[in-house]
Amino acid sequence: RFSYRLYVLQPCHPQTNVMFLKTHKTASSTIMNILFRFSEKHNLTLALPAGQGYHLGYPQRFMAHFVEGFKTMGQSYNIMCNHMRFNLPEVQKLMPNTTTYFSILRNPISLMESSYAYNKHFTPAFKKSKDVNEFLASPWTYYNLSEHINNVHARNYMWFDFGYDNNAVDTEDYFQSVIAEIEQAFHLILLTDYFDESMVLLKNTLCWDLDDVVYFKLNSRSEDSIQEMTPESKEKVKEWCSLDWKLYQHFNRTFWRRIEETIGLEKLAQEVNLLRMRQEELMELCLLDPKPVDKSRIKDRKLQPFQSGRANILGYNLRQDMDNATLRACLSLVTPELQYVSYLYAHQFPDKERKHTAFPLWRR
- For residues 339 and 328, what is the distance between their CA atoms, to the nearest angstrom? 14
Give the pLDDT mean for 209-222.
88
Q: Where are the domains of the chain?
A: 5-348
Whether residue 291 is predicted with pLDDT greater than 80 in this model: the reply is yes
pTM of the full predicted structure?
Answer: 0.91
- For residues 260 and 254, what is the distance between their CA atoms, to the nearest angstrom? 10
- The CA radius of gyration of the chain, in Å to the nearest whole number, is 20
- For residues 81 and 155, what is the distance between their CA atoms, to the nearest angstrom? 23
**Which pLDDT band, with edges at 50, 70 and 90, does 74 fall under?**
confident
**Which pLDDT band, with edges at 50, 70 and 90, does 7 fall under?**
very low
Assign domain 5-348 one CATH number from 3.40.640.10, 3.40.50.720, 2.130.10.30, 3.40.50.300: 3.40.50.300
- For residues 220 and 292, what is the distance between their CA atoms, to the nearest angstrom? 8
Whether residue 17 is predicted with pLDDT greater than 90 in this model: the reply is yes
Average model confidence (pLDDT) for the chain?
90
Q: What DSSP assignment string belongs to 189-204?
A: EEEGGGHHHHHHHHHH
Per-residue pLDDT, 6: 43
Per-residue pLDDT, 307: 64
pLDDT per residue as tens digits for the range 100-112: 999 999 999 999 9
pLDDT per residue as tens digits for the range 246-281: 999 999 999 999 999 999 999 999 999 999 999 999
Contacts of 134 by beta carbon, 8 Å cutoff, 6+ apart:
none
- Which class for 118: exposed (0-12), middle (13-18), buried (19 or more C-beta within 10 A)? buried
Q: At what angle do helices 242-262 and 172-185 cross, to 10 degrees?
A: 40
45, 76 contact by CB (below 8 A): yes
Contacts of 181 by beta carbon, 8 Å cutoff, 6+ apart:
none
- For residues 154 and 54, what is the distance between their CA atoms, to the nearest angstrom? 22
**Which pLDDT band, with edges at 50, 70 and 90, does 141 fall under?**
very high
Q: CA of 132: how far to CAs of 23, 118, 126, 152, in Å?
A: 21, 11, 8, 15
Per-residue pLDDT, 309: 56
- For residues 212 and 62, what is the distance between their CA atoms, to the nearest angstrom? 28
